[in-house]
């Protein structure tokens, strides 16, 4: 019994000690007069005291240090808002923190008060930057009568320096700034002086960090020429060219601190190489189209010159109701900066078997061409190719040998390729072909246009629209290559309809793809959480025997709902669709599962 009482006594002591040593969180209150939501949000995000309070810091030394730093932080925010007459008081238990010696912090702080009087907004009486280039347009926020914020001053200085650098004066800088606040008139005078320095040209170019990619090839891909006029945009383009190869994990181009002989500016390119080999795989499943499996292997520095070599395989229609199983094997070789920095040489070799509802095709194709990066958003591709195909359909077997001149242009202004919320995307393809055997000459045209717009910020609502168009001109319908004809139905065109179920009736119970196609898809994507979204969609498709849609063909449509779960590699997609209109037999519902949005 005595031992029991001792145990109880010790436990009570421990509990008492624990409650005695527990330190209550310091009370923090920030008051802004007059009230201003924008300033409150900015100060709350910048204040070290607010951060310490959120992290439940109670150490007096840390709190005093945070409070002393907050004077400058809050003052900078007031200046950015054009309030140069404000006052700031930070009190720890009633004593101004600025009067507390750094090493004389109290043993305990119960309460901290931050009292801010923002004062009135000061306006620019004088706003001047000189000299300027003839094309420089200073921000509207930096002019007489505008609120005199430090942000406007910085923006004006940055604009002046940027324009001088783009004009070739690489060492332009602000050498003098006179900023005067006149409290009696509540105005600001800002006078900035620019030193342009001499007009420069690119000097010597050195390269470091590369181990497996040859130095000469890095220099060629970058495309910077010694003696060319200095241009910061050209430096930025050189960095993008090197990153675009995929051979480098990081790329930086640094300008020398000092001007070289003859008003030249030396540059140094620093790279870190990427792991050369990479592989990946994907899968998509539909209850009608079956399972599709894809995989690739690539080398990002095949011959030591940042050449890319990619092998990609696809097996589709596994267990589906789309005719049979299709097989494709594609090989692609790309050599950057051939013959110019923004042009890549490519060669492709493809083999495939397509077991479609209307025909079976075994084909091989070779293409040699160039990819031109016209801008960061516009890519143009053109080449010369040869295609061989052995086709079997309801009318017998036919061999096609075609010489092709494929042309393609892609404009991509989406914010995210796998999960876009704004922007546009256009993909235009034209394939003129010369019929060596099996077909007359002609051309196939395709257009894929997409647009995205998002409303609301808290729970984003994204509207997505897709328009598709296809046309085959030249040979008559039954004399044209079947693989150039158009069908509708399935995951890529109209969800809720059988795969390639919309075609052209050619008599005798036989069908064929059409010479024209038009498609419309619309989606409304609503975010429920950061990770989960629901989607409602509608798809429409048209196929006709004529080269351009004139209404004489057939159409069908489908609609449904979907679920998206966002991941680091794109959203996982689940769509359930049903047919709305159309004469072809269709199931009651269709299920599609994949990675990435439907479009």
The domain boundary residue, chosen from 254, 273, 292:
273
- Look at residue 40 in the predicted model and tell me its pLDDT: 93
CA 198 vs. chain centroid, Å, equals 38
Q: Which of 246, 273, 300 is the last residue of a domain?
A: 273
Q: In which domain, by residue range, is 27 found?
A: 22-117
0.85 exceeded by pTM: no
Does residue 420 share a domain with residue 529?
yes
| Residue 127 falls inside a structural domain | yes
Spatial contact of 152 and 123, defined as CB atoms under 8 Å apart: no
- Could you tell me if residue 510 is inside a domain? yes
Phi, psi of 533 (to 5 degrees): -135, 155
For 90, phi and psi rounded to 5 degrees? Answer: -120, 115
User: Under DSSP, is residue 297 helix (H, G, I), strand (E, B) or coil?
Assistant: strand
- Judged against a pLDDT cut of 60, whether residue 6 lies above it is answered with no
Is the pLDDT at 17 greater than 80, yes or no?
A: no
Query: What is the average per-residue pLDDT within 516-532?
Result: 95
CA distance 375 to 50: 45
Kindly tell me if the per-residue pLDDT of 595 is higher than 90. no
Residue 103 confidence (pLDDT) above 80? no
Pair (545, 578) in one structural domain? yes
Same domain, 159 and 144: yes
* pLDDT score recorded for residue 16: 40
Tell me the average pLDDT across 327-340: 97
Q: How confident is the model at residue 7 (pLDDT cuts 50, 70, 90)?
A: very low
pLDDT digits (tens, 9 = 90+) for 539-553: 999 999 999 998 899
Predicted pLDDT at 183: 93
Q: How far apart are CA 372 and CA 341, in angstroms?
A: 9
Does residue 16 belong to any structural domain of this protein? no
3-state secondary structure at position 3: helix
Q: What is the CATH number of the domain that holds 345?
A: 2.40.160.50
Residue 168 has pLDDT above 50, yes or no: yes
Beta strand segments in 490-531, E: 504-507, 510-512, 516-527
Cβ neighbours around 259 below 10 Å, total: 16
Whether residue 257 is found in the same domain as residue 406: no
Convert the pLDDT of each residue in 357-386 to its tens digit: 888 999 999 999 999 999 989 999 999 999
Query: Is 80 exceeded by the pLDDT of residue 12?
Result: no
**Pick from 90, 117, 144: which residue ends a domain?**
117
| 462 has a pLDDT exceeding 50 | yes
Model confidence at 22: pLDDT above 60 = no
Predicted local distance difference test score (pLDDT) of residue 361:
94
pLDDT category at 356 given cuts 50, 70, 90 is confident
Residue 574 has pLDDT above 50, yes or no: yes
Q: Which range, of 116-120, 263-267, 425-429, 456-460, averages the lowest pLDDT?
A: 456-460
Q: Is residue 39's pLDDT more than 70?
A: yes
Tokens encoding 529: 């959480």
**Within a domain: residue 67?**
yes
Average pLDDT over residues 271-280: 95
Alpha helices in 105-231 (DSSP H): 150-166, 215-222
Same domain, 252 and 398: no
pLDDT of residue 14: 39
Helix (H, G, I), strand (E, B) or coil at 49: helix
Is the pLDDT assigned to residue 18 strictly greater than 70?
no
Given this model, what pLDDT does residue 76 score? 94
Domain check: are 172 and 224 in the same one? no
Question: What is the chain's mean pLDDT, rounded?
Answer: 92
Pairing of strands 423-437, 396-404: antiparallel
Say whether both 417 and 451 belong to one domain.
Answer: yes
15 lies in some domain: no
Task: Average the pLDDT over 324-332 and give the result.
Answer: 94
User: Which element (helix H / strand E) includes 396?
Assistant: strand 396-404
Q: Domain count for the chain, please give it.
A: 4
Q: Is residue 111 assigned to a domain?
A: yes
Backbone region of residue 119 per phi and psi (left: phi > 0; alpha: psi in -120 to 50; beta: other values): left
- Whether residue 263 is found in the same domain as residue 291: no
User: For residue 102, what are its two tokens?
Assistant: 């750094």
- Alpha carbon distance 42, 430 (integer Å): 53
| 517 and 567 within one domain | yes
Instruction: Count CB atoms within 10 A of the CB of residue 288.
Output: 21
pLDDT of residue 467: 98
Instruction: Report which of residues 2 and 508 the model is more confident about.
Output: 508
Task: Please tell me whether residues 64 and 207 are part of one structural domain.
Answer: no
Q: Name the CA radius of gyration of the chain, rounded.
A: 34
* Co-location of 447 and 548 in the same domain: yes
Q: Let me know if residue 501 belongs to a domain.
A: yes
pLDDT in tens, 184-234: 999 999 999 999 999 999 999 999 999 999 999 999 999 999 999 999 999
Residues 314 and 258 in one domain: no
| Beta-strand relationship, 532-544 and 201-208 | unpaired
């Amino acid at each position: 019994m005595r031992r029991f009482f001792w145990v109880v006594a010790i436990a009570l002591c421990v509990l008492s000690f624990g409650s005695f040593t527990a330190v209550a969180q310091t009370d923090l209150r920030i008051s802004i007069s007059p009230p201003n939501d924008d300033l409150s949000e900015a100060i709350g995000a910048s204040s070290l005291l607010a951060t310490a309070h959120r992290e439940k810091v109670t150490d007096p030394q840390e709190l005093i240090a945070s409070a002393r730093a907050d004077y400058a932080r809050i003052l900078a925010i007031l200046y950015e808002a054009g309030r140069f007459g404000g006052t700031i008081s930070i009190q720890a238990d009633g004593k101004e923190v600025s009067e507390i010696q750094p090493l004389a912090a109290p043993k305990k702080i119960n309460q901290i008060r931050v009292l801010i009087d923002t004062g009135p907004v000061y306006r620019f009486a004088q706003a001047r930057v000189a000299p300027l280039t003839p094309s420089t347009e200073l921000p509207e926020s930096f002019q007489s009568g505008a609120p005199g914020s430090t942000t406007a001053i910085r923006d004006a200085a940055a604009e002046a320096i940027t324009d001088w650098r783009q004009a070739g004066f690489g060492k332009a800088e602000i050498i003098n700034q006179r900023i005067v606040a006149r409290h009696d008139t509540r105005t600001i005078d800002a006078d900035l002086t620019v030193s342009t320095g001499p007009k420069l040209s690119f000097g010597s170019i050195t390269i470091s960090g590369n181990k497996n990619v040859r130095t000469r090839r890095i220099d060629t891909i970058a495309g910077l020429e010694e003696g060319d006029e200095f241009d910061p945009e050209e430096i930025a383009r050189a960095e993008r060219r090197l990153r675009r190869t995929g051979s480098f994990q990081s790329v930086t181009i640094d300008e020398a601190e000092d001007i070289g002989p003859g008003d030249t500016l030396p540059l140094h390119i620093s790279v870190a190489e990427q792991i050369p080999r990479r592989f990946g795989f994907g899968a998509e499943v539909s209850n009608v189209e079956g399972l599709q499996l894809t995989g690739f292997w690539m080398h990002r520095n095949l011959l030591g010159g940042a050449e890319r070599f990619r092998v990609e395989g696809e097996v589709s229609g596994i267990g589906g109701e789309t005719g049979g199983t299709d097989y494709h094997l594609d090989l692609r070789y790309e050599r950057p900066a051939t013959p110019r920095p923004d042009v890549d040489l490519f060669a492709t070799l493809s083999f495939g078997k397509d077991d479609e509802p209307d025909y079976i095709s075994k084909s091989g194709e070779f293409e040699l061409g160039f990819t031109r990066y016209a801008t960061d958003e516009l890519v143009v591709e053109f080449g010369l190719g040869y295609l061989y195909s052995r086709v079997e359909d309801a009318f017998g077997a036919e061999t096609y040998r075609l010489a092709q001149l494929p042309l393609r242009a892609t404009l991509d202004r989406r914010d995210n390729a796998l999960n876009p919320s704004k922007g546009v995307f256009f993909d235009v393809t034209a394939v003129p072909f010369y019929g060596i055997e099996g077909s007359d000459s002609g051309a196939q045209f395709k257009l894929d246009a997409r647009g995205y717009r998002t409303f609301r910020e808290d729970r984003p609502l994204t509207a997505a629209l897709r328009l598709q168009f296809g046309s085959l001109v030249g040979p008559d319908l039954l004399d044209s290559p079947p693989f150039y004809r158009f069908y509708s139905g399935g995951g890529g065109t109209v969800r809720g309809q059988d795969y390639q179920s919309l075609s052209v009736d050619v008599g005798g119970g036989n069908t064929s793809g059409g010479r024209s196609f038009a498609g419309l898809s619309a989606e409304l994507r609503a975010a429920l959480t950061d990770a989960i979204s629901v989607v409602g969609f509608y798809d429409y498709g048209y196929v006709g025997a004529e080269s351009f849609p004139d209404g004489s063909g057939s159409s069908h449509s489908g609609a449904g709902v979907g679920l998206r779960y966002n991941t680091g590699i794109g959203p996982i997609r689940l769509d359930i669709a049903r047919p709305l209109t159309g004469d072809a037999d269709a199931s009651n519902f269709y299920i599609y599962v994949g990675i990435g949005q439907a479009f």
